[in-house]
Structure 1
Amino acid sequence: MQEYDVIVLGTGIKECVLSGLMSLNGKKVLHIDKNSYHGGESTSISPLEELYRRFKVPGPPKSIRRGKEWNVDLVPKFFLATGQLVKILVHTEVTRYLDFKVVEGSYVFKSGKMHKVPATEEDAQSSDLMGMFDKRRFKKLLHFALNFDIKNPRSHQDVDPEKTTTREMFSRFDLGQDVIEFTGHAIALHSSESYLDQPCLETINRIRLYCESLSRHNTSPYLYPLYGLGELPQGFARLSAEYGGTFLLNKPVDEIVMDNGKVKAVRSDGKLFHCKQLICDPSYVPNRVRKMGRIIRVICLLNHPVKNTHEASSCQIIIPQTELSRKSDIYICVVSYSHSLASDGMYIATVSTTVETNNPEKEVQPALELLEPIMQKFVSITNLLVPNEDGRKSQIFVSRSYDATNHFDSECEDIKDMYRRVTGEEFCFGRPRNLSHNSDDD
């Protein structure tokens, strides 16, 4: 009989981060995955031929050679340069195993045109998203957010961060509707309009995070790992192994053994592994999760940069929901050969959003039109699953499915929340540092 403090099922990014953190905390950790590869739902696919097989699409065409040069992320998400995931990477020193490169641009699609997201005074002055008076008001909002200190009431400018709604805060700065939309969705990265009637503190913090991340690299606030997100779970797996964690890949999970409503062990390949706590993704405990919606992702292979992005080899594009009379935004993540993810001159653009109708592909058609011509599309529609309970009673802690956003902010909130429930403690980060191995003009 083998005893562990924590057993982790699945090698998705969240599970591997938590496995690494538990090992770092001195816990004896066993990590099991039913798949033969790391990453789970968020894995990287290589070679390219495997992507075609996975989606049952004939190909690839002869014009796309050297399939081994491709690493295609099924759930691509950018890192904010001073964001929570970067802080976790620095805290755990997983940065030793990864190389990053700055994403070249951040854009918002408004009024039928592509616009660079302004997040500095210089950007604001040259932006065609705003008129002269709006530029002044937007500049004041940026100053307010960057100088805001929750502990210093003098910096609040009569805004109560816990009571003043974001809508009221925007009204105080007399911002026009267009400015509110790109600020809320392309800078604060809210995915729907519900934030407007919430206390403004979170939005202030999000604006500051975006601006501080941008100040690190100037071209955009985002980073992406060379060779794709598949490097991330492997980096945390190496961390866990360094601290005594054990990994078993390609192992079935036959049963989760309970005792008086509490997890006792995991049975795999006829062997019983005892544990005090269990961490897993939703696929291992279908009876402990519920469906909250659906996500559509369309992976597109391109042989050209996206139009009107200044020939960017990588960028984020957001189409705010009001632009298309929707309830949620549409996201486009563009990466390429510059991040060692595709052959020379080739690009991978992934469109994602929360499904709102019975015709998901039609919902993302406006985004796909921005990418034309598309060499090949791979469409997936997945359920957004969330746990039924917080896990404290059963000691089974289940992660949420990956949402439609193409940045890691909400996923990090889930990691922090799970860490809090598993350990009973808040996770405290160290200060982030510059992770990009390239210069800004590289």
Structure 2
Amino acid sequence: MDEEYDVIVLGTGLKECILSGLLSVDGLKVLHMDKNDYYGGESSSLNLNQLWKRFRGDEQPPEKLGTSKEYNVDMIPKFMMANGALVRVLIHTNVTKYLNFKAVDGSFVYNKGKIYKVPATDVEALKSSLMGLFEKRRLRKFFIFVQDFEESNPKTHEGMDLNKITARELISKYELEDDTIDFIGHALALQIDDAYLDQPAMAFVKRVKLYAESLARFQAGSPYIYPMYGLGELPQAFARLSAVYGGTYMLNKPQCKVEFDANGKAYGVTSEGETAKCKKVVCDPSYLSEKVKKVGKVARAICIMSHPIPDTNDSHSCQVILPQKQLGRKSDMYLFCCSYAHNVAPNGKYIAFVATEAETDDPQAELKPGVDLLGPVDEIFYETYDRFEPTNCPDADGCFISSSYDGTTHFESTVVDVISMYSKITGKALDLSVDLSAASAAAAAAEE
């Protein structure tokens, strides 16, 4: 413990483990500590006994649910976009060799009381039952524009500067209806609110294009992939990477206290009477609660079921997005489902989550629209957790604090935070221009 490190990372949540791996690969001397005796922190996966202990205390799970060890229930359930930033990080670091992935069966959107498959290409637009014939044709034209669009080729811009016009102005050119705009923005571009409509259209088009390209990568029913045995595998894989590059790991280290000098700059971390010195500290909000502010609260339901979500084509794994306007809310609601097909539950069992940004103090009532779409459930657990963001100045105190995980069922916002933190810590951009064929190979191997 009395050694000196470039960076001490506190907490083994996914964000912290990715950063630990990236920094070790860069040649920095990293010490990674966690007050818990397991990897994953808030983003760990629990077996059935651990799930019951967390929510039901000393109660024992019913035998009909199967054996405890066959469950891997994610506490922060999220899918990965097949062409997305997290997959690029996995390939950049070669972490794919520690993991097996499987494509996610379906991606759906809730509209006027029903669940529909999300159309993401011009061909799917014409087949979709989500809209009428004339709207299908208008949407098809929009999709063709997005598919053909290349930022470096002005011929594909149709005379528009997407860095100057807003997403709203671009969409108005295609005369799309409000419900169509709703699902494009929230189920394809994965926006969490409608603020994007009045921002430059470039980012919006890139996100829709990313969805379509990810969908095409595996020719599956969705653009998402998900690791076998659940997301708890991810933090451990990045921890392994860090160790390969010389990172040191210490679990079960109680009361990790960040030490500050007279100028308020972090110089080390003390645990069990010993202080390890460092130049920078990376941590989740729980380690420096005085340097974060509460910015929201996530409400969620965790369900064990014996069937897939109805109206999702019997998908063993899927995402359903319920756009805010469809529910008369300020924020979207997300349904996430995976099953024994991804080795996260015994044969015949499904794990479903319903999550949203909490707008009341009654998660049960608030989540009802999503829970009602699940059909009968064997067991259901409700909870809320607070979301925090850092308020400190890392240049002044040497502390780099991650933001809490939001209620979305995809990793796009998570990786944005990681990449931003990496740039602040190292002073350089993370190069994610990688060959995505490695991801295809990893997923294909998992499918066999």
Residue 172 of structure 2 corresponds to residue 171 of structure 1: yes
Residue number in structure 1 paired with 2:75: 74
Residue number in structure 2 paired with 1:431: 435
Residue number in structure 2 paired with 1:10: 11
Is the CA contact (8 Å cut-off) linking 1:253 and 1:266 kept in structure 2? no
Residue number in structure 2 paired with 1:245: 247
CA distance in 2, matches of 1:2, 1:353: 43
Deviations 1:292-349 (A, max 9, x none): 0100121100011111111110000000100011111000110000000000000000
Please report the RMSD computed on the Cα atoms of aligned residues, expressed in angstroms.
1.4
- Runs of 4+ more than 6 Å apart: 439-442
* Distance apart, 1:255 and its partner CA: 2.1
* Distance apart, 1:389 and its partner CA: 2.7
CA distance in 1, matches of 2:235, 2:135: 44
CA distance in 2, matches of 1:304, 1:127: 25
CA distance in 1, matches of 2:62, 2:113: 33
Note closer, same or farther for the CA distance 1:311–1:120 as it changes in structure 2 (3 Å cut): same
Is the CA contact (8 Å cut-off) linking 2:80 and 2:87 kept in structure 1? yes
CA distance in 2, matches of 1:307, 1:317: 11
1:230 to 229, 232, 235: 232
Deviations 1:57-101 (A, max 9, x none): 633112112111110001100000000000000010000100000
Alignment of 1:88-167 (within 5 A): 88-167=89-168
CA distance in 2, matches of 1:439, 1:242: 24
* Distance apart, 1:173 and its partner CA: 1.1
* Distance apart, 1:439 and its partner CA: 7.8
Unaligned runs of 5+ in 1: none
Quick one: percent identity of the two aligned structures? 47
Q: Which moved more, 1:246-255 or 1:15-24?
A: 246-255
Q: Secondary structure at the match of 1:55?
A: helix
CA distance in 2, matches of 1:441, 1:277: 41
Residue number in structure 1 paired with 2:321: 318
Which residue identity does 1:379 align to in structure 2? Y
Residue number in structure 1 paired with 2:336: 333
Is the CA contact (8 Å cut-off) linking 2:121 and 2:144 kept in structure 1? no
2:370 to 347, 367, 370: 367
Note closer, same or farther for the CA distance 1:358–1:76 as it changes in structure 2 (3 Å cut): same
CA distance in 1, matches of 2:392, 2:149: 36
* Distance apart, 1:110 and its partner CA: 0.4
Residue number in structure 1 paired with 2:361: 358
Q: Which moved more, 1:237-246 or 1:123-132?
A: 123-132
Is the CA contact (8 Å cut-off) linking 1:296 and 1:381 kept in structure 2? yes
Q: Secondary structure at the match of 1:392?
A: helix
TM-score, normalized by length of structure 2?
A: 0.96
* Distance apart, 1:436 and its partner CA: 4.6
Residue 392 of structure 2 corresponds to residue 389 of structure 1: yes
Which residue identity does 1:112 align to in structure 2? G
* Distance apart, 1:10 and its partner CA: 0.3
CA distance in 2, matches of 1:392, 1:208: 36
Is the CA contact (8 Å cut-off) linking 1:165 and 1:197 kept in structure 2? yes
Is the CA contact (8 Å cut-off) linking 1:392 and 1:422 kept in structure 2? no
TM-score, normalized by length of structure 1?
A: 0.97
CA distance in 1, matches of 2:273, 2:329: 50
CA distance in 2, matches of 1:297, 1:136: 37
* Distance apart, 1:193 and its partner CA: 1.2
Deviations 1:154-194 (A, max 9, x none): 22213221221111111011111121111111111111111
CA distance in 2, matches of 1:131, 1:171: 18
CA distance in 2, matches of 1:77, 1:309: 18
Residue number in structure 1 paired with 2:288: 285
Which residue identity does 1:134 align to in structure 2? E
CA distance in 1, matches of 2:382, 2:346: 21
Residue number in structure 1 paired with 2:49: 49
